[in-house]
Structures are given as structure tokens and as C-alpha cells.
Amino acid sequence: METAVPKTGTEGKLWGGGNKPLEVSYGKMMMWFFILSDALTFSGFLAAYGFSRFKFIDSWPIADEVFNHFPFLHGVDAPMYYVALMTFILIFSSVTMVLAVDAGHQMKQKKVIIYMFWTIIGGLVFVGSQAWEWKNFIKGEYGAVETKGGQILQFVDTEGHRVGLDEIANPQADVRRQHLEQNGVWYQAEDELPTYTIDEIRSGFAERNDVLIRTQTLTEDGKKTVLSREESLQRLQEDAIGIVEGANLIHNEYGTPLFANFFFFITGFHGFHVFSGVIINIIIFINVILGTYERRKNYEMVEKVGLYWHFVDLVWVFVFTFFYLV
């Protein structure tokens, strides 16, 4: 058919125009470049984590001691098992996703539905596990004492096992009560008071000859420094100003608050990606059920969300290494 564009004699030649050098649809290419930019965002976070860690290389918390919980195994020291399980769940949901993409290539609607369903379930289980991990981290386990320089002092027995604040504290009668609105005309809201006062810990610690203080500083062989009984008493008397239970953005019973900040920020940002990935997967899942792609005669949308989902898995592989292993 005649067209308005005149022939130039360059048709079919490399520089004649009409080339598709990347041989990929617009949507898929843009998904790749979005992933690239998102990967750089995550790298920024992880590199900043590396910066802070190198800055406090001899006092960083030991991840094995922080993340050692496993569901239904209360009080059992299970370093990393749970996070390894989470990693498996995410890798497996990646596998079902790629199987869905594969089934989509062959236009097998039923198979795409089944595989996408399992992908969504895997994603939800992962987000749930992460919430559980956050809960344990925020709640804390043993509690610690904070010094005026912002250092964390933890308690251990002579064999090096951790001792909780509740085992040390010597309850006193005349502790300050929480300010409540009902108790005065002039009322200023205040944060919840800590479970124990520093004096209760001090007096309790003085009576317990079998308990020592462990500082943040790492020894040559990567263990935390344990002070002698005299040093412990002195440290607690002179420097301690309050107790810390659990972790938030300001205080962290496991060590430097930076560790908690990066943990919340990086795993939170990743968790948000998993969550939005689940939402996008659900939307595409509904479309697959409705037969949208069957009518469109290709399942490229499944492929595109698949790319995003694999990327989420890819990021987790790095977070797992740098937060839990290294």
C-alpha cells in the first residue's frame, strides 16, 4: 500500500530507521530500568550501613545474638535458622513466579493461576515472618543499661550467659509513679516509665556477685568484652543513667542505635517492596483469572510483575548476607 512516507532507499539497512536495538517491549524495558534505579536505592542504604559498620567496626552488635528466635522454640538459641527459612520461602516464591511466567509463555491459563497463587501466599508468609522478627527485636529479650555516653552495658553470669534485668533488679518501694491526668490540674503527658529504675538495678547488682557487665567493645576474636567485678561495679555506679528494654529508633538494648535504625529502615523498605509486590501480583492474578491475557494472546504482564518479584528476592539475598551473615 502507498504511504505518505517516501521511500529513501535505506530500508532494511542498519541506519535506515525502524530498528529495535533492544528487541524488547516498552513496558519490559522500563521495568528493567526501574529495577536498576531501585537497586541503586537499596545499594545506597546497604552502603550507608557498611559505612556505619566500618565506623564502629569494633563495637557493632553480633547479629547471631540479636536474631536468635524461632517460632514455638521459646528460649532456645537458634541463630539465623528463622531468617534462613524466610530466605527459602522467598526463593521458593520466586520459583513459582518463574514457573507462572513459563506457563504464560505456553498460554496455559490454569497453570499460571496456580503458580501465581502460590507466589502470593509465599509473599504473604514472608511479610508475616518479617513482622514477627520486628516484634522480637522491638520487644527485646534481656534488657540492658545505657550510660551517659550512649553506650550499652549488658549483664552476663560468670559463664558468659546473658542475665535479664528482671533477674537483677531489687524492687524498691518508693519509685516514681507515672504522671496521670487524674492526679493533678497541671498535667504534662510523659512517656511510659521504664520497668525498673537504675537504682533498683544498682542495688540488685551489688548483691549479685555472680553477675558481670559486658560492654559493646569487641575483643580480638570477635566476642564482647566482659569486665571484672570491680570494673563492673564502678561502671554501673559512675556511668549508667537508665535502662533500655528492646529497641527503637533512639535506644537499642543490643548495641548502637544505628544498628536498629538500619535494621528498621532496610528491612522495612524491603518489606514494603514485598508488600507492594504482593498487591501488584494480586491485581495481575485477578486479571489472569478473568482471562484478560488469554484475550490479549500474551502473558507479558505476568512477565513484568515477575521481574519485579524476582528483584525483591534479589535484594533480600543481599540484605540477608549483609545483615545476618557478614
Which residues of the chain form contacts with other proteins (CB under 8 A)?
A: 21-25, 28-29, 32-33, 35-36, 39-40, 43-44, 47-48, 50-58, 64, 79-81, 84, 87-88, 91-92, 94-95, 97-99, 101-102, 105-107, 148-151, 221-222, 297-298, 300, 303, 306-307, 310-311, 313-314, 317-318, 320-321, 324-326
CB nearer to other proteins: pick between 23 and 207: 23
Which CB atom, from 241 or from 286, has the smaller least distance to other proteins? 241
- Name the 3-class secondary structure at 117: helix
Minimum distance between the CB of residue 200 and other proteins, rounded to whole angstroms? 25
- At 5, which helix (H) or strand (E)? none
CB 21 to other proteins: min, Å: 5
Which residues on adjacent β-strands are paired with residue 157? Answer: 211
Q: Which is nearer to other proteins, 275 or 318 (CB)?
A: 318
3-state secondary structure of 61: coil
Q: What is the nearest approach in angstroms of other proteins to the Cβ of residue 317?
A: 5
Rounded CA-CA distance 243/143 in Å is 7
Question: Based on CB atoms, which residue is closest to other proteins, 167 or 231?
Answer: 231
Work out how close the CB of 170 gets to other proteins at its nearest, in angstroms, rounded to a whole number: 27
User: CB 24 → other proteins: shortest distance, Å?
Assistant: 6
CB of 60 to other proteins, least distance (A): 11
Considering only CA atoms, which of 201, 207, 222 is closest in space to residue 147? 201
Angle of helix 198-207 relative to helix 229-238, nearest 10 degrees, comes to 160
Separation in Å, CA 272 to CA 103, 109, 127, 174, 232: 28, 29, 9, 46, 42
Which residue number, 51 or 272, has a Cβ lying nearer to other proteins?
51
> Sheet harboring 224-226: ordered strands across?
224-226, 211-218, 152-157, 144-147, 240-244
Phi, psi of 225 (to 5 degrees): -70, 130
The neighbouring-strand residues paired with 261 are none
* Distance in Å, CB of 32 to other proteins, minimum: 5
Enter the C-alpha cell of residue 139. 520487644
Our CB check for other proteins shows the closer of 33 and 186 to be 33
- Nearer residue to other proteins within complex by CB, 172 or 217: 217
Closest CA relative to residue 127, chosen from 276, 262, 2: 276
